[in-house]
Amino acid sequence: MLDTMYHSYMLIDGEQVQALSGRVDVIYNPASQEPVGEVPVGSRQDARLALQAARRAFPAWSETSCQKRAEILHEAADLVRERTDRIARLLTQEQGKPLKNARAEVRSSADMLDYYAEEGKRNFGEWMASGQSRSIVLKQPVGVAALITPWNFPVDLLAWKVAPALAAGCTFVAKPPSKAPIAATEFVKTLIDAGLPPGAANVVHGPGSEVGAELVQSPISRKIAFTGETKTGRWIMAHAAGQIKRISLELGGQSPFIVCQDADLEKAASACTQRAFSNMGQICISVNRIYAAEEIADQFTAKLLEHTQRLRIGNGLEPDVDLGPMFSEAQREKTREHVADALAKGASLLCGGREPEGRAFEKGFFYLPTVLDNVDHSMRIMREETFGPVAPIMRFKTLEEAIALANDTEFGLAAYLFTRDLKTAIFASERLEAGGIGVNVNNVVDIQAPFGGWKQSGIGRELGHDGLEAYLETKHIRLGFEM
């Protein structure tokens, strides 16, 4: 716990402000339920003030040269790195993740600023000659962007939006998650300290149904970049339709992990453990369903169990902790329900399936990493997004069967495959229905490559050059020579 309560704020027009109503909410540490800090609870009216500030700042920022914008973004990246420890500690306290992971998240956000500082310079147009006219194609910033983010990676997922938006010449209003808004606000404050002009970067807090909804429905915002639940994404898509707004939606996942007969089982088990349990399974690209070839399933399962049982769970501020608490009691309860449903339908519990014992775990939302065997697709754990630390294993006979099972979902964010055979890797990668395929790796995030979902996992792409394009509009200027 911090020595004193941290007092957070909103950022509007370059100023640190409280909500017009004066209302505040207390943020609690999910490891101990001790108070971490206070944040203002904004309303639609606060959101409107922020949107107006972003609109005022837009003309000057959009006309600032890409070199100048890059200078400020690089400066901000350096400052974020300097402040890593401070921001990371706040993140661990409000979100629960181990400090080493919080530091990595903050550093990754700084890298994002550096990457888009340079990518913003590669906003090229086109020039086409056609008889007595010429066509000039320009890419121009779309306008004020509304950036709405979830609690599982509150700093990084905001950086995925903030960096390309600013590099493209957009100004923005961000709405961090209501129960983990402090570190994200510190991150944006750092950008302002690095020299962003007033109003280019704004942050408002408050309920999604009010503050988030205003950002979506206001005629001022021209682009909505959202990461969160599929249900919320549907609402945003429907409400952005009224003004045909540009939208990018990064939504839920239910990622399969296929282990082929010829896979390096040690590497596969280690990679699978990490991707199933890191951040307590609260990652949109977590491993949610494991399909193991029946010839190696027992061996793979034994190795997975070995790796799982080595994980140390505890308060994220303690050194050498691999897993912290879950983010909330609601998340833990959903996990319990999914495990109970699977066990009632015939799954076997190999480890976990309960809270850890001891005084250190009494108050936090802890849950042991859990491995289930003998699961099938009648179980909720294989169909819905659990967002919890559970690795359910199912066996398959042929690769075609594994691919069909992997695709038997409404989601399509990430899919993983472990094999040593190039033909198998290509055959499966071309048939798996997901925006990111990891072959012999457990992560489909790479700063220079597009990230996003198929099916109900989303629309649009973040990261890479596509991430910048998401904040640009295309304009064709046709120039006739005959006056």
- DSSP symbols for 321-351: -SB---S-HHHHHHHHHHHHHHHHTT-EEEE
Of 92 and 152, which CB lies nearer to ligand NAD in the complex structure?
A: 152
Kindly state whether residue 281 participates in binding ligand NAD, applying the rule CB under 6 A.
Answer: no
Instruction: Please state, in angstroms and rounded to a whole number, the distance separating the CA atoms of residues 277 and 210.
Output: 33
- Residues 100-129 binding ligand NAD (CB under 6 A) are none
| Shortest reach from residue 425's CB to ligand NAD, in Å | 24
Q: Tokens at residue 351, please? A: 């480890």
Residue nearer to ligand NAD on the CB measure, 254 or 424: 254
Beta-carbon contacts of 39 under 8 Å, excluding residues fewer than 6 positions away, are: 8, 9, 24, 25, 27, 181, 182, 185, 205
Q: At what angle do helices 182-193 and 99-119 cross, to 10 degrees?
A: 40
SS3 for 482? coil
Asked whether position 289 contacts ligand NAD by CB under 6 A, the answer is no
The yes-or-no answer on residue 284 being catalytic is yes
**DSSP-derived pairing of the beta strands 390-396 and 411-412:** unpaired
* Number of continuous H segments (helices) and E segments (strands) in the chain: 14, 23
Contact 109, 80 (CB under 8 A): yes
The structure tokens listed for 160 are: 């995925």
Binding ligand NAD by CB under 6 A: which of 58, 115, 151, 367? 151
The binding track of 218-237 with respect to ligand NAD, each residue x by CB under 6 A or -, is ---------xxx--x--xx-
Question: How far apart, in whole angstroms, are the C-alpha atoms of residue 417 and residue 428?
Answer: 8
Find the shortest distance in angstroms from Cβ 284 to ligand NAD. 3
The number of C-alpha atoms within 13 Å of 23 and in the hemisphere containing its C-beta is 10
From 94, 105, 186, 250, active-site residue: 250
Could you say which of 94, 284, 385, 462 is catalytic? Answer: 284
Q: Footprint of ligand NAD on residues 456-475 (CB under 6 A)? A: 457-458
Shortest Å distance, C-beta 331 to ligand NAD? 8
Q: Least distance from C-beta 204 to ligand NAD, angstroms?
A: 11
Residue 213 found at the interface with ligand NAD (CB under 6 A): yes
Q: Tell me: does residue 436 bind ligand NAD (CB under 6 A).
A: no
C-alpha–C-alpha distance, residues 418 and 39, integer Å: 44
CB 462 within 8 A of CB 161: yes
Report in angstroms how near the CB of residue 176 gets to ligand NAD at its nearest.
Answer: 6
- State which of positions 367-386 bind ligand NAD (CB under 6 A): 385
Look up residue 355 and give its two tokens: 């809270």
Count residues contacting ligand NAD (CB under 6 A)? 31
96 vs 228, which CB is nearer to ligand NAD? 228
> Are the CB atoms for 219 and 243 separated by under 8 Å?
yes
Nearest to ligand NAD of 218, 457 (CB atom) = 457
Enclosing H/E stretch for 193? helix 182-193
Q: Report the nearest approach of ligand NAD to the CB of residue 216 (Å).
A: 5
Q: What is the DSSP code (8-state) at residue 366?
A: -
Is 149 one of the binding residues for ligand NAD (CB under 6 A)?
A: yes
Q: Which residues bind ligand NAD (CB under 6 A)?
A: 148-152, 157, 175, 177-178, 208-209, 212-213, 216, 227-229, 232, 235-236, 250-253, 284, 385, 387, 413, 453, 457-458
Q: Which residues are catalytic?
A: 250, 284
